[in-house]
């Protein structure tokens, strides 16, 4: 069974990995079949998301979590994070108000991974 504390720790680990372009940690936290919809409405696979961090298409300076809620359903959890993301896109520095909606699932091997994620710009 998943608990809220586990998900909070994993959310923090995922955010840190995004900031640090830590593709090994991202690879471990994202399920191979993850479906990711970014804030532009693009549907991405795991390989697309990992590659964007490898290529450093953007450089996240900080992720400020304004509010987070976690709902548990046995071996699945939904995390909704209201954030401000401070990043550089090329020479342009910007702050975006984003909602991250992630579905985490505990697998047979006891690992907990993101199986679905959607980012919405506010």
Joined together, the tokens standing for residue 1 give 């069974």
Domains plus CATH for the chain? Answer: 4-121 (3.10.450.50)
- Quick one: tokens of 51? 């590659």
pLDDT for res 55: 83
- Whole-number pLDDT of residue 86: 96
**pLDDT value, residue 120:** 97
Contacts of 87 (CB under 8 A, 6+ apart): 58, 59, 60, 61, 93, 94, 95, 96
Residue numbers in the chain where pLDDT is lower than 50: none
Query: What confidence score (pLDDT) does residue 54 get?
Result: 86
What pLDDT, on the 0 to 100 scale, is given for residue 89?
A: 83
């Amino acid at each position: 069974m998943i608990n809220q504390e586990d998900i909070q720790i994993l959310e923090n680990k995922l955010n840190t990995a995004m900031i640090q372009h830590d593709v090994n940690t991202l690879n471990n936290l994202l399920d191979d079949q993850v479906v990711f919809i970014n804030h532009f409405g693009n549907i991405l696979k795991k390989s697309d998301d990992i590659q964007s961090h490898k290529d450093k298409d953007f450089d996240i300076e900080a992720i400020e979590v304004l509010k987070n809620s976690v709902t548990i359903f046995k071996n699945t959890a939904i995390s909704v994070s209201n954030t401000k993301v401070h990043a550089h896109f090329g020479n342009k520095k910007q702050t975006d108000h984003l909602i991250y909606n992630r579905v985490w699932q505990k697998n047979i091997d006891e690992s907990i991974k993101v199986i679905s994620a959607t980012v919405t710009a506010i």
